Amino acid sequence: MGKAMRGMMLVWAQLDNDVRSERTASGMKAAFNAGRWPWGAPIGYRHGIKNGKKTVEVVEELRPIITSLFEEAATKLYSKEQLTQKMNDRGFGRLWKQKATVKTIDKILKKKFYYGVMEAADWKMEAPGVHEAIITEDLWSRSNKAIYGEPKRVKITGKSIDFPLRHFTLCGTCLSPLRGSYSKGRSGGSYPYYHCTTKGCPAPHSWRRSDLESSFSEYLNQFTLSPVQLALLKATLLEDVERSASLHETEETKILGKINDIGNEKLDVMRSRRVGKITEGEELTMLDQLRAEESVLKVELSENKIDRSEAEAVIDFTIHFVAHVGNYWEHMKPNEKTVLQKAIFPKGVVYENGTFRTDEISSSFQLIKSFAEENSPLVTPEGIGPSISWMKARRPGPLDDGA
Ligand SMILES: [Zn+2]
């Protein structure tokens, strides 16, 4: 049991991490949407502080070099190699601490940042920045057309986060991923729905977003343990932490002993030098070697440290999480929800006749299940299965993207 539990804790620690990094990402997205550049300053800019806030500002000495680059590119008279040469002739290497290469030219010319627009390719997002532009949009377009041809457009996404269950939930009749959209009501308002409107679906259907989502949250709550099981789980996890902590302490004592021995050896070496048994050169060599051994041991010591409070925080998170999976999900932000859903049901879920089912739950949830079965009273999650072969037989060709 101890081993399984440790595995489970790792899964949850990972999940917690994923959720946390998703949270960091949403903080960055918020900054981005507010016009603040959340990454390293692009070439020609540097980070500064203005009114107590982090900003990105133009490096004045580089401004004329960047401007000339765009202007000369727009003339169609120069190759990228020639533009590189010109930049370096103007002292770019000295000012930026790195000579320009053809790659530098690409990096600068392609960035809309220089006329005030921030791009985040990974997020497929664009936003106007609050930073100072160096050139105009017109100059940017002309220079890009001259060097690369017509510029590509970055698609701006939006609404998808309003429907965390879309793509993830399959229609129980035709097994196509559900879509999400807003429908106009009779009174003119706009209402969110999930729906299957796949061509050929024998039972196309729409569900109010709130209905489908609360039903999903109830489904998640089926995986919850009873209070007795929770207490048992917590005790097992704590015991496990305690056991590994005491193992680590034994190891720590050993390493500290070795460090102490090295200290004594150092004193011996210095004493030998003082009484003239060894030369100064020999002393230095021996001391260097001892110091190297010592620093290796110190690294071992810090790697061996097990942070009990952190381990306990993971346990608390685990228990809280297991006790309230559904509610937990309900109160997350949409992007966090998708992370959690995927972590629990790697293959998504199927919705039919008002209930969910799945073919695969993640190992951590299988562990909960086996834990629950091993220790009565039983909580048996319903709705697992039917078999994959059944799904494959009914799946009408490859899944569409549900967009
Ligand atoms: Zn359908």
* Per-residue pLDDT at 216: 94
* Per-residue pLDDT at 18: 64
* Per-residue pLDDT at 75: 92
Ligand 1 centroid to residue 249 C-alpha, Å: 58
* Per-residue pLDDT at 271: 95
Ligand 1 centroid to residue 398 C-alpha, Å: 14
Ligand 1 centroid to residue 173 C-alpha, Å: 5
Q: Report the greatest alpha carbon distance in the chain.
A: 101
Amino acid type, 300: E
* Per-residue pLDDT at 392: 28
Q: Measure the CA–CA gap between 262 and 304, rounded to whole angstroms.
A: 19
Ligand 1 centroid to residue 206 C-alpha, Å: 10
Ligand 1 centroid to residue 344 C-alpha, Å: 23
* Per-residue pLDDT at 105: 94
Ligand 1 centroid to residue 359 C-alpha, Å: 18
* Per-residue pLDDT at 68: 95
* Per-residue pLDDT at 124: 76
Ligand 1 centroid to residue 174 C-alpha, Å: 4
Ligand 1 centroid to residue 158 C-alpha, Å: 25
Q: What is the pTM of this model?
A: 0.43
* Per-residue pLDDT at 11: 59
**Closest C-alpha to 115, from 154, 78, 143:** 143
Ligand 1 centroid to residue 68 C-alpha, Å: 58
Ligand 1 centroid to residue 342 C-alpha, Å: 21
Ligand 1 centroid to residue 85 C-alpha, Å: 60
Ligand 1 centroid to residue 217 C-alpha, Å: 22
| Fold exhibited by the domain 34-148 | Hect, E3 ligase catalytic domain fold (3.90.1750)
Domain ranges of the chain: 34-148, 242-307
Ligand 1 centroid to residue 67 C-alpha, Å: 55
- For 8-43, letters b (16+ CB in 10 Å) and e give bbebbbebeeebeebeebeeebeebeeebbbeebbb
| Per-residue CA distances from 238 to 21, 246, 252 (Å) | 26, 12, 21
Question: For the chain, which residues score pLDDT lower than 70?
Answer: 1-24, 150-161, 306-307, 310, 314, 362-403
* Per-residue pLDDT at 394: 28
Ligand 1 centroid to residue 209 C-alpha, Å: 16
Q: Measure the CA–CA gap between 18 and 312, rounded to whole angstroms.
A: 19
**Closest C-alpha to 3, from 370, 322, 308, 377:** 370
